[in-house]
A and B are shown apart, each in its own frame.
Chain A
Amino acid sequence: GDSVTQMEGPVTLSEEAFLTINCTYTATGYPSLFWYVQYPGEGLQLLLKATKADDKGSNKGFEATYRKETTSFHLEKGSVQVSDSAVYFCALYYGGSQGNLIFGKGTKLSVKP
């Protein structure tokens, strides 16, 4: 079945460092891909999304490109801030009902000043 695999954390970076969090997926069709972010003590919120191959989602300085050839949707940010410390979830929606959303296990990011 469809699935999402993301790099295990935790990831610890210094402020202004470059961030990459890897995400790969397995899907039989053409899913939509998402990154959700969970700040400490809060629920998840949508960070960015891409609905078709070669689409780039971006928000708050974060970017991810839907790569069909490598079945990947890696999250990147050029210069992280302490406020980016959170858990990041890659997710895949494979169509049909809204329940068909699969989350990865999450990657915890800690940014040190």
Chain B
Amino acid sequence: GAGVSQSPSNKVTEKGKDVELRCDPISGHTALYWYRQSLGQGLEFLIYFQGNSAPDKSGLPSDRFSAERTGGSVSTLTIQRTQQEDSAVYLCASSLGGGYTEAFFGQGTRLTVV
């Protein structure tokens, strides 16, 4: 696709339910980032995939959060047993990888846990 695509755009879920957020990066981009942004706050790093290397999971806030990237392309962020504090905008970005490359963001998924 022409840009990074995220789905769904909005998700309302009940506390305790599991959710899956999808990111489809720009074709050919080997690096993929997930961030979380609460209202009025900065970007909170969650996880970083770079090619076939082991992902950097150091930003995942708890073991309820996991992410995978299948075939080096589409990524899914899964949140199990959602809590109200998980409510935020989840942003995905991708880049060509390597040092001198630019990252581009999707439009984000707004998650609301009620």
Q: Do A and B bind each other?
A: no
Binding site for B on A (CB under 8 A): none
